[in-house]
Structure 1
Amino acid sequence: MANRFGVLLRDARRRAGLTQDELAARSGVGVRTIRRLETGSGTDPRVGTVTLLADALDVTPDERRNLLAAADGKQPRQEPPEPAPSPTAAGPAPVEGEARSVPAPGGLPAVPPEVSEAADHLARVMAARLRRAEELRRVHDPFPLPVRWRQAPEHLADHWDNICRVPAGVTAAPLDLSGEVGDIASAYRRVPSRRLVVLGRAGSGKTVLALRFVLDTLAAREPGGAVPVIFDIGSWDPTATPLRTWLVERLQRDQPGLAAAAPGGATLAAVLVDTGRVLPVLDGFDEIAEGLHRPALETLNSLSTPLVLTSRFAEYQRAVTVVDVLTSAAVVELTDLTPDDLAGYLPRTARRGTADGGSGTTWDAVLSALRDPDNAEASPPANLAAVLTTPLMVGLARTVYSDSRDRDPTDLLDATRFPTPRAVEEHLLDTFVPTVYGGQAASARDGGTRRSWEVDRVRRWLGFLADDLDRRGTGDLEWWRMGGSLRRSSRVLLVAAFACVAAALVDWLVFSPVNALVSGTPLHGHVVLVDGLVIGPVVGVPFGLLYLLVVVRRGRMPEPTRVRVRLLDRSGRQPGFRRKVVARFAAGVLGGVVAGVGYALAATVVKVLSPNWTYAVDAGVLVRVTLVDAGVYALVFGLACGVVLALAAVLEAPANLTTATSPGDLLAANRATALRLACGLALALALAIAFGGFAAIGAVQAIADPLPWDLHWNLETGLLLGLMGGMSAGLAYIVTFTAWGQWLLFTRFRLPLVGRLPWAVNALLDDAYRRGVLRRSGAVYQFRHARLQEHLAKAYRAGR
């Protein structure tokens, strides 16, 4: 039957004037499945698949019967997952009138195999990550809360004619998109424009619904198809960065392998976005900075990109009032949980048995009061009833009271203690952290072990992090930006001080002993001491200056390095490769020249103080010699540093697709990369100084007059100078230009030193994630909810 069905399907598609890609976009059936069906190489199609194809082709009743008869009603035996066989799932919208509807825009363009494989890898990563997120949120423990939605008020949505993409003169009938959490993916597929807005108040379950949408959509995805990806849109500045650029940057941040070059030169992330193989799920429109909602909505309206957008109701309504609705987007609104929902859920989260030995649970009295407030023994539970209508507050109540043996939820009915709904919410938020860091809630549900922390200290540390995020206007806790809370002047001084100390230690512990051993001259303590003290600023000042000019003035902390060294391979070169090499060379020359001049001054000071000094020269000659030395060392160090940094840029290539993407893994990978890069730079710089000195000395001797002492340069001198310069510059480079070095200096040293964070910063973040205080979004942490971040930040500022 397959061959006959394929012939009928191909004829109907050609009569409709559609390509296979266009039919795939209209029907929601994968283009590979359509290709197999038309060629007869696949198994017999499902009835639901035939219905989707027939709806998309708008065939006559007779043609529909012929298609169904040819398919013979058999279910496939080994066919990849198809979309749910709903007659309305992703097909054209019902219309009033005789004209045919026009569903979603055309299909995905063909791409090279590398891009398709990258999309499949991204899909697997997203599925694994979001399943883990559901586990840590205990979404399925014991079962998901019944999040429901209904149609939003009409003034917040576009015309149904635009949503359904019907031709001019045709009127589209409204779609019934109401449903529950398990229906979100099928509801989206019923929207022909593939643009959906989900509204709800704080804590109403928008993010959990986004998780479920992505997982359900991935379950029905065809290989090579679009991958739904959640983007926390709160950090987007539409006035500074186009949406397309921002999406690509976020993909490359969270999936370093997507920074690799695709055929044609663009990165894999860029190609995935440009070819529609990324379906953006933009979570948190309300969290965009105040004043940017208008340009954000205007930007989204200028695009026809399929997307899902979540927002708090009030913020979206204000933006729509000022600008316009989101073009072609259907809008749904999450509804409140009911007392019956609570009665079905909360008792199953608590232990059996009550304090008086009854067979119920600790929630029975509370639930009875909520369901029948007129007969409640305690005061009317209006405040509690108003609070326990969102999954966030129900989840907090479950943690505080179901997971704790020493708390009684009937306390929540006390109207004297909690006179307003806000008081109840603040109590739950305030009690959440002490609960998860103590008692039974601290047991490792994931099978791991957890550290013991003092609750008060944890609250202060988390409060500092929340306050820092609030001041920066973001919810992304990026480990490489945590040091940005320090003043710019403090950061510059710390970088310069570290470079000074590193260079001095290298001089004292390595250069001076090796020099004495090679030259056969005795060590003089005061000379060695002075040598280190003057050499320190020679390295520290240039690196402090470079840090000020290259990093601080740019206003951004160094990003994590997502590269690995690879020789003789041009395939990984990214756009802007030549510009990057030139910029590295220029920065290296600048730093080397400053260091060379400083080293000449330091060398003169040390020589004058040395007991071996036997030259009798006046101050004028000494200054002249110092200036000549400065020119020599500036030339040597400048060219050596420029060549070495440019060479490092040439040898860099993007990480592969299997690179880990959790915050801890990215930190570990960046640490390894920074150390390898520093070692490589140190060795290359040592060799460049050693052999570059011969050319520089020859040039100076050819044009300079005779000097009071000989300018000589041999391999021994060059290697000693190169050893000191390479080791000092390598250490300084780490803390100046790498994200891991900045993390080490500011977050792992400075912030714990002043009590803002513990010395075990990584352990704190990972433990908070496992306890459900933090969540992961790709390579960054976030607080479990914006309300929790706001509460902790407010408490930190109040107690400071």
Structure 2
Amino acid sequence: MVARGFGAVLRRLREEAGLTQDELERRSGVSVSTIRGLETGKRGNPRMTTVRQLADALALRSADREELLSAAVPGDPGGGAGTPGDAGPPGGGTGAADGPGSPAGGAGTPGVTGVPAGGANAPDGAGVPGGGAGAAGGPGGVAGAGDALAEAAGELAKAVAARWQREEEHRRIQDPFPLPVRWTAAPDTLTDHWANIRRLPPGAASGPLDLSGDLDGIARTYRSIPSGRLVVLGRSGSGKTVLTLRFVLDHLKTRKPAEPVPVIFSIGAWNPTTRTLRDWLTDQLTRDHPGTAARGPGRVSLAAALVDSGRVLPVLDGFDEMADGLRRPALEALNATTLPLLLTSRPAEYAAAVAETDVLTSAASVELTDLTVDDLDHYLPRTTRKSDPADPGRGAWDRVLKKLREPSPDGPAGPLATALATPLMVALARTVYSDTPQYDPAVLLDTERFGSVRAVEEHLLDSFLPTVYHAPRPDGRDWNADRARKWLGYLARHLAELETPDLAWWRLGHGLRRSTRSLVTALVTGLAIALVDGLVALAFHGSLVGALLDGAVVGLLAGFLFGLVHWLTYTVTGKDVTPSAVRLRIRGRPPATTWTAGPRLVIGTLGGAFFGLSYGGLIGLLHAYLWRTGLASGLYLVLVDAIVYGLVFAGGTGLTFCLIGLLETPLDIVSAVSPRSVLSTDRRTTLTQLVVWTPVFGATVGLGAALVVDLLQGHLGLLVLDPAASLRLGVISGLGGALGYTLSLTAWGQWCVLTRIWLPLTGHLPWAVVTFLDDAYQRGVLRQAGAVHQFRHARLQSHLARAHRRA
């Protein structure tokens, strides 16, 4: 009754505003499926963050707004009967469903709108950005759902902390100490009104906050902002990514159970014109933490529940890496939400987006400052080896630092000093010269060779790969630097074409044209099935010529049909083949996932029917040609074979899909610790599906063929199918169907076809792709961001992509 009452009010207010559901989605950031579900009553217990978003998007008057809020939580103004705890507005400490004295509440203020700024636990009275999660719920609330989400958020926090702690150690950020990343307040034109940032009531006097600080204080700086929204600006290589990493780790160290979990998202991979922010965040969370695909409260995935309830604090890194035409709609979409967040960008790209629309609402802005010569003097000498026993205090950087301290005759700092003003270039210089004693940094003082900042930067970027690939790794891996540059250049160009920083192993084949991917899939699948069919035919008949002919015909037909299914499923729709977020549990009853066996039965039956009709029709055509029948007899053969095979494969595929769906169980949240682990998990899942698919599908098709022939006997004329033929059909279908499904419709299968076979065969990648990517990570060329790799520096990625295009 709550949902239906709320849905009727929402529908009336939307119609009075003259908005369609799609238009309300664009204004509010709430997906149209959620809006439709709320209006029809299919989605119960609307979350207060969602309700407030809808109210803001509808620009409701105070009376209408109160009506909508009351409809969401009728009968209990302090707690909201039956409504799960909500995150409250950014900066608020009071959960929506929390009554007086609720553990998740802030100041203990009753009501559904929360406290605009502050809470009992807020530091310095500023409030906790993001508010309380309302985990415990107020009187009459649903405590179980809140407890489950609070537990999931706790597990997510542990996984995120462990991941980025490993990444920080791998990148040697603390060796010997972090470079001093500092910032000051950004220009006023890039910052919202301070009254909005401080969440002050109308008419209250406001002034700017002192946000200056350094890397160790980024979490404190963020917590001092009542709105919980911060924009970090900095030029290329200024340390934005290192700052986000440090922010996440420091924030998690002092995080309270009710606070949201900071999670880093590479916003450059978001297309705001096709995906709402919340749906995209949910997808990314599911990708990096497959366990969150499990069903959460309210019949939605755990990832969606965590995002919708405000238990995830988005740390959006790389706004400048978005395509030019997407930054404005992205900023508008961010302004349509009240989510607390941290956003990083280069100043020029953010300023251009602001000029087209507006600043990020309620967001304070800071800008990273350049390193000084004193910073270099403190840092670089401590990164070199003591190579001179006679004078241990003498370092390779002495001459360079002495020169940098000399005043420039032209006034401004010289090219070398300007280039080394960013942590990126200092890190490259350290790798090229400090970590490699045979190279002398004094070469950088050659003003003829390095007469401009660009010349210095290009030299450091060019020298990075030869340096890191100069010596073999301790584990014995060795790669030729030139070949590594070629392969990495291909990967960099591949990411530039996809307009994303995420190097996902399941999308490496997307460097090929879509038509090429479908053709290669059809070719490899056809060859694999032809080999299996030929071996089975040889075992049954003992004739090599007959086996070769049978394998060639079946392989050609199966390759064409599976290639067509792949083309219709992915090429036409533009969808990706993504890794599985589940595993198969053969023993025991698996917990419920977000999928059910029913839809799998329908999808499998329809897909099998399409395959069987096509396969049977082609078999009928082949028989008509070989037997030299007339037109009428040929059409009869085509019709009969199409019907028989259509029924057989529809039943076999439907039942097999249903069984696999029943055996699926979600992964745990901490499963995706690295791209390799995601690949291994997906491989195990796919191979287990093969083990289940082959006997089940083979037996179902073999027995089903005999059953269908018996049932249709006389209705379609005289049908003949001897037991040996039925057994052979079952064996070939079981093996061939499993192979075709794996190679054309699974992420691991596509990885094998395109990345392990085709791309190495054409010279774009090495044969040992995973080993190469892991090695590039160990050498510091790539970094791991959950389930994907990324280039360690966006500047290095663009440099390699340009070099690859020139080559």
Q: TM-score range by the shorter chain?
A: 0.7 to 0.9
Percent identical residues: 47
1:555, 1:334 → 2: CA distance? 39
CA shift for structure 1 position 491: 1.8
Alignment of 1:526-545 (within 5 A): 526-545=545-564
Instruction: Return the letter of the residue paired with 1:415.
Output: T
Alignment of 1:18-167 (within 5 A): 90-92=123-125, 107-110=132-135, 111-167=145-201
CA-to-aligned-CA distance 1:589-610 (integer Å, 9 cap, x gap): 211222233344556778x6xx
CA-to-aligned-CA distance 1:719-760 (integer Å, 9 cap, x gap): 321111110111111110001111111111111111111111
Cα 1:467–1:21 change in 2 (3 A) is closer
CA-to-aligned-CA distance 1:493-528 (integer Å, 9 cap, x gap): 222222222222122212431x23xxxxxx333222
1:433, 1:549 → 2: CA distance? 41
2:568 counterpart residue number: 549
2:15 counterpart residue number: none
2:636, 2:800 → 1: CA distance? 63
SS in 1 for 2:771: helix
Question: Would you say the 8 A contact 2:88–2:133 is kept in 1?
Answer: no
Cα 1:25–1:550 change in 2 (3 A) is closer
CA shift for structure 1 position 679: 2.4
Question: Would you say the 8 A contact 2:604–2:650 is kept in 1?
Answer: no
Alignment of 1:419-568 (within 5 A): 419-439=451-471, 443-444=473-474, 449-513=475-539, 515-516=540-541, 523-566=542-585
Of 586, 595, 605, the residue aligned with 1:585 is: 605
Q: Which moved more, 1:775-784 or 1:104-113?
A: 104-113
Cα 1:605–1:505 change in 2 (3 A) is farther
Q: Which moved more, 1:619-628 or 1:20-29?
A: 20-29
Of 217, 221, 236, the residue aligned with 2:255 is: 221
2:103, 2:546 → 1: CA distance? 82
1:28, 1:387 → 2: CA distance? 45
CA-to-aligned-CA distance 1:424-445 (integer Å, 9 cap, x gap): 0000001001111114xx555x
Within the alignment, does 1:596 sit opposite 2:616 as a pair?
yes
Alignment of 1:685-724 (within 5 A): 685-706=697-718, 711-714=720-723, 716-724=724-732
SS in 2 for 1:573: coil
Q: Which moved more, 1:215-224 or 1:325-334?
A: 215-224
Q: Which moved more, 1:467-476 or 1:379-388?
A: 379-388
Q: Which moved more, 1:562-571 or 1:503-512?
A: 562-571
CA-to-aligned-CA distance 1:659-678 (integer Å, 9 cap, x gap): 23310011111111111112
Instruction: Return the letter of the residue paired with 2:219.
Output: A
Within the alignment, does 1:574 sit opposite 2:594 as a pair?
yes
2:379, 2:421 → 1: CA distance? 12
Within the alignment, does 1:334 sit opposite 2:343 as a pair?
no
Question: Would you say the 8 A contact 2:583–2:664 is kept in 1?
Answer: yes
1:798, 1:274 → 2: CA distance? 46
Question: Would you say the 8 A contact 2:331–2:353 is kept in 1?
Answer: yes
CA shift for structure 1 position 798: 1.3
Cα 1:23–1:307 change in 2 (3 A) is closer
Cα 1:149–1:621 change in 2 (3 A) is closer
Q: Which moved more, 1:493-502 or 1:398-407?
A: 493-502
Cα 1:498–1:525 change in 2 (3 A) is same
1:373, 1:354 → 2: CA distance? 29
SS in 1 for 2:208: coil
1:681, 1:22 → 2: CA distance? 44
Cα 1:277–1:626 change in 2 (3 A) is closer
Question: Would you say the 8 A contact 1:258–1:657 is kept in 2?
Answer: yes
Of 620, 637, 645, the residue aligned with 1:633 is: 645
CA shift for structure 1 position 296: 0.8
Instruction: Return the letter of the residue paired with 2:528.
Output: A
1:96 counterpart residue number: none
Instruction: Return the letter of the residue paired with 1:206.
Output: K
Question: Would you say the 8 A contact 1:286–1:312 is kept in 2?
Answer: yes
Question: Would you say the 8 A contact 2:538–2:544 is kept in 1?
Answer: no
Question: Would you say the 8 A contact 1:644–1:681 is kept in 2?
Answer: yes
Cα 1:177–1:35 change in 2 (3 A) is same
> Given the two structures, how large is their TM-score scaled by the length of structure 2?
0.81
1:391 counterpart residue number: 423
> Given the two structures, how large is their TM-score scaled by the length of structure 1?
0.82
Cα 1:603–1:386 change in 2 (3 A) is same
Unmatched segments (≥5 aa) in structure 2: 1-76, 80-84, 106-114, 136-144
CA shift for structure 1 position 114: 2.4
Cα 1:577–1:679 change in 2 (3 A) is closer
Instruction: Return the letter of the residue paired with 1:574.
Output: T
Unmatched segments (≥5 aa) in structure 1: 1-16, 39-52, 59-82, 84-88, 94-101, 517-522, 609-615
SS in 1 for 2:183: strand
CA shift for structure 1 position 625: 4.7
CA shift for structure 1 position 644: 2.4
Instruction: Return the letter of the residue paired with 1:496.
Output: A
Question: Would you say the 8 A contact 1:26–1:92 is kept in 2?
Answer: no
1:106, 1:659 → 2: CA distance? 29
2:28 counterpart residue number: none
Of 782, 785, 798, the residue aligned with 2:793 is: 785
1:783, 1:505 → 2: CA distance? 40
1:658, 1:161 → 2: CA distance? 40
2:222, 2:745 → 1: CA distance? 45
1:701, 1:575 → 2: CA distance? 38
SS in 2 for 1:281: strand
Of 672, 689, 695, the residue aligned with 1:683 is: 695
1:72 counterpart residue number: none
Question: Would you say the 8 A contact 1:354–1:362 is kept in 2?
Answer: no
1:21, 1:252 → 2: CA distance? 21
Alignment of 1:230-245 (within 5 A): 230-245=264-279
SS in 2 for 1:292: helix
CA shift for structure 1 position 645: 2.8
1:626, 1:167 → 2: CA distance? 77
Question: Would you say the 8 A contact 1:480–1:558 is kept in 2?
Answer: yes
* Higher-Rg member (1/2): 1
User: What's the Cα RMSD here?
Assistant: 3.1
SS in 2 for 1:158: coil
CA-to-aligned-CA distance 1:308-345 (integer Å, 9 cap, x gap): 11110111111112211111111111000000000000
CA-to-aligned-CA distance 1:768-799 (integer Å, 9 cap, x gap): 00111000111000001110000111111112
CA-to-aligned-CA distance 1:641-671 (integer Å, 9 cap, x gap): 2332344334433223342331001111111
Cα 1:165–1:644 change in 2 (3 A) is same
Cα 1:181–1:622 change in 2 (3 A) is closer
CA shift for structure 1 position 588: 2.1
2:251, 2:783 → 1: CA distance? 22
CA-to-aligned-CA distance 1:260-291 (integer Å, 9 cap, x gap): 00133111111111111111111111111111
1:405, 1:382 → 2: CA distance? 25
1:535, 1:355 → 2: CA distance? 74
Instruction: Return the letter of the residue paired with 2:174.
Output: H
2:14 counterpart residue number: none
SS in 2 for 1:742: helix
